[in-house]
Amino acid sequence: MLEIPDELFQRAERRAALENRNVKDLVTDGLRLVLASAPENPPRPSHRMTKAPVSIGKDHTIPVLSNDAMAELLEGEGERLP
């Protein structure tokens, strides 16, 4: 089911009547125009974090660490980085 605001639908009905067409054909042509001008696979919005520290819950945060600081922490846990 497709819901179209009343004012827009009434305008579509008037336009379709002027062109001796039905609303379904008018909407179909409009969708074809919109989809033809849009990229097939539009870029997805990035969900990358841009600010830190990032709150993950009440009284929980992720500290900001440099790459060197992270490497030190991992090596202290027995991880060896290349």
Let me know: does 27 contact 15? Beta carbons within 8 Å.
Answer: no
Where b means 16+ CB within 10 Å and e means fewer, 49-58 reads eeeeeeeeee
pLDDT band at 45 (very low <50, low <70, confident <90, very high): confident
Residue 42 lies in a domain: no
Do 27 and 56 reside in the same domain of the chain?
A: no
pTM: 0.46
Let me know: does 35 contact 24? Beta carbons within 8 Å.
Answer: no
pLDDT digits (tens, 9 = 90+) for 23-36: 999 999 999 998 88
Residue 1 lies in a domain: no
What pLDDT is recorded for position 25? 95
**Model confidence at 63: pLDDT above 90:** no
The total number of structural domains in the chain stands at 2
Domain coverage including residue 72: 49-82
**Model confidence at 22: pLDDT above 80:** yes
Residue 75 lies in a domain: yes
Residue 44 lies in a domain: no
Do 57 and 30 reside in the same domain of the chain?
A: no
